[in-house]
């Protein structure tokens, strides 16, 4: 066990997560010690102790502290982290901002590496992706436009690695109609409030939206047709996801209603892993469903993979990439498994090697994506990824998921409906952040729906009212 303590709580978050990134195999506990003689300390199982001081009572800039703490941890661990001191989940946001400030490539790379100790290849990746994001966002109406997220919190079964708010469809069979009733009420309210705005993207996610029956899917998509003007729509995505939830009838329903982009997400093409993580389908079914979608003329299909699933290493990833490559998806999203998810799957004994293996698997995926003609277009990170790595979306030139970029860069309002859905309202003028005692100003308001399915159904009027104050503020 590693014990991390700080003299005040303002730096505890950074200190804890950096230690966790360097030592994913260790249990890390943190505490605030207000009377401590040192600003921050880390005590290790071998009895050693690392100490961070700040020249008396004068605290240094957090970036300076981060770099000092990082170098101490790097020397102790005997390695560096790909993203250096950067703990945020949106590294491309920094690159995007610097582009808007007029930075050139070399100026940004120098600044990013010096400020955050990021590796040269990750700094270049962030810069290159931010450029592609900027081009794609240029297609949107950022002033009078908005995008719509619709959440379906059901799955055929719940995968062991999943952290999303979803439930097995079989457990909720008698409440699906009630859920759709509530969802349509919320959508009707959004449509009414947004009648004068331009809808640019629709994303139906979850969960697994195709857990709904073809009839239920028809009801939902017909409701969207009736209530929303799609004349300015650039992208219409349904995250079909699980192959065992996709049928010809459902694909035909989506095609009829103008869905332009779908996902067929295997996560892996290793049967032993699919069985282990709770997926009730075969590798062959993944291939069959993908080919069926092509037969129905879907020309923008995404596939998701996860690096670091239990029992998998570079050899399994290589085999998965070869099988996916033969299908030739239009986009590929490669996720790094987070330590907390690994622990839920009983991988505690493998955590020590996960950082190394995941790094190699990410490199293999990048090379495979290049062979498929896919380039990286969006990137985000999660806390507790061993090795401090990232999740990257690759796509053909004209097949990038615009909605995915919006989630990262927060340049346009996203109105969200459904259990656990989170709306992001981009304001034209800064206003005091809700709940902030210091009256901190913000240009972004987040409005969360309750996560529990039954609570969402019962409290739908409250969910609708929560948005009312802020819509088009």
- Do 70 and 109 reside in the same domain of the chain? no
Number of domains in the chain: 2
- Residue 25, class by beta-carbon neighbours within 10 Å (0-12 exposed, 13-18 middle, 19+ buried)? middle
Residue located via tokens 């009312």: 468
Average pLDDT over residues 41-48: 95
What is the three-class DSSP state of 36? coil
Same domain, 12 and 48: yes
pLDDT at 385 over 80: no
Better-scored residue on pLDDT, 222 or 387: 222
Domain annotation covers residue 106 = yes
25-51 average pLDDT score:
92
Torsion angle, alpha carbons of 306, 309, 313, 316, to 10: -70
Same domain, 29 and 68: yes
Is residue 145 a part of any domain in this protein? no
Expressed as residue numbers, the domain containing 123 is 91-136
> Could you tell me if residue 402 is inside a domain?
no
pLDDT over 90, % of the chain: 70
Average pLDDT over all residues of the chain:
89
Give the strands of the sheet with 198-206, arranged side by side: 375-380, 391-395, 331-336, 301-307, 261-264, 235-241, 198-206, 145-152, 414-417, 422-432, 441-448
Same-domain status, 12 and 71: yes
Q: Based on the fold, state whether residues 39 and 14 are members of the same structural domain.
A: yes
Domain assignment present for residue 214? The answer is no
Is 66 domain-assigned?
yes
Residue 50 lies in a domain: yes
Residue 97 lies in a domain: yes
Does residue 49 sit within a domain? Answer: yes
Same domain, 104 and 62: no
Same domain, yes or no, for 21 and 62? yes
User: Which residue carries 């615009």 as its tokens?
Assistant: 402
Shared-domain flag, residues 62 and 119: no
CA distance 32 to 19: 16
**CB-hemisphere CA count at 13 Å for 133?**
32
Kindly report, residue by residue over 189-220, the tens digit of the pLDDT: 999 999 999 999 999 998 899 999 999 999 99
pLDDT tens digit sequence for 330-380: 999 999 887 554 444 444 444 444 556 888 999 999 999 999 999 999 998
Could you tell me if 7 and 41 lie in one domain? yes
Are 72 and 23 in the same domain?
yes
CA–CA dist 19, 4 (Å, integer): 8
């Amino acid at each position: 066990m590693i014990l991390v303590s700080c003299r005040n709580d303002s730096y505890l978050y950074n200190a804890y997560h950096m230690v966790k990134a360097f030592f994913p195999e260790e249990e890390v506990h943190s505490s605030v010690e207000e009377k401590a003689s040192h600003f921050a300390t880390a005590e290790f199982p071998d009895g050693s102790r690392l100490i961070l001081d700040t020249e008396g009572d004068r605290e240094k800039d957090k970036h300076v502290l981060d770099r000092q703490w990082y170098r101490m941890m790097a020397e102790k661990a005997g390695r560096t982290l790909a993203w250096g001191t950067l703990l945020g989940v949106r590294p491309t946001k920094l690159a995007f901002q610097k582009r808007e400030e007029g930075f050139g490539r070399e100026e940004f790379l120098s600044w990013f590496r010096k400020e955050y100790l990021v590796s040269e290849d990750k700094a270049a990746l962030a810069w290159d992706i931010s450029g592609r994001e900027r081009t794609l966002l240029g297609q949107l109406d950022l002033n009078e436009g908005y995008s719509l997220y619709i959440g379906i919190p059901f799955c055929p079964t719940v995968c062991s690695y999943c952290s999303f708010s979803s439930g097995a469809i079989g457990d909720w069979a008698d409440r699906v109609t009630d859920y759709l009733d509530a969802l349509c009420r919320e959508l009707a309210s959004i449509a009414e409030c947004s009648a004068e705005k331009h809808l640019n993207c629709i994303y139906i996610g979850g969960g697994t939206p195709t857990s709904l029956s073809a009839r239920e899917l028809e009801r939902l998509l017909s409701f969207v047709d009736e209530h929303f003007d799609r004349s300015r729509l650039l992208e219409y995505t349904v995250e079909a996801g699980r192959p065992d939830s996709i049928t010809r009838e459902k694909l035909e329903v989506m095609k009829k209603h103008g869905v332009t982009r779908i996902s067929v997400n295997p996560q892996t093409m290793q049967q032993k892993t699919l069985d282990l993580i709770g997926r009730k389908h075969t590798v062959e079914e993944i291939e069959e469903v993908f080919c069926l979608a092509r037969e129905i003329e879907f020309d923008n299909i995404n596939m998701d993979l996860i690096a670091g699933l239990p029992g998998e290493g570079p050899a399994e990833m290589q085999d998965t990439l070869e099988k996916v490559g033969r299908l030739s998806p239009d986009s590929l999203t490669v996720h790094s498994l987070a330590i907390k998810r690994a622990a839920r799957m009983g991988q505690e004994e493998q955590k020590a090697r996960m950082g190394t293996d995941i790094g190699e698997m990410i490199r293999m995926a990048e090379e495979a994506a290049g062979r498929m003609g896919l380039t990286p277009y969006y990137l985000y990170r999660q806390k507790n990824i061993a090795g401090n790595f990232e999740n990257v979306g690759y796509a053909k030139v004209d097949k990038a998921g615009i909605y995915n970029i919006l989630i990262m860069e927060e340049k346009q309002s996203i109105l969200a409906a459904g259990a656990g859905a989170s709306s992001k309202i981009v304001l034209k003028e800064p206003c005091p952040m809700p709940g902030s005692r210091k009256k901190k100003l913000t240009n972004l308001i987040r409005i969360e729906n309750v996560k529990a399915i039954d609570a969402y159904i019962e409290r739908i009027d409250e969910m609708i009212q929560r948005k009312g104050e802020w819509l088009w503020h």
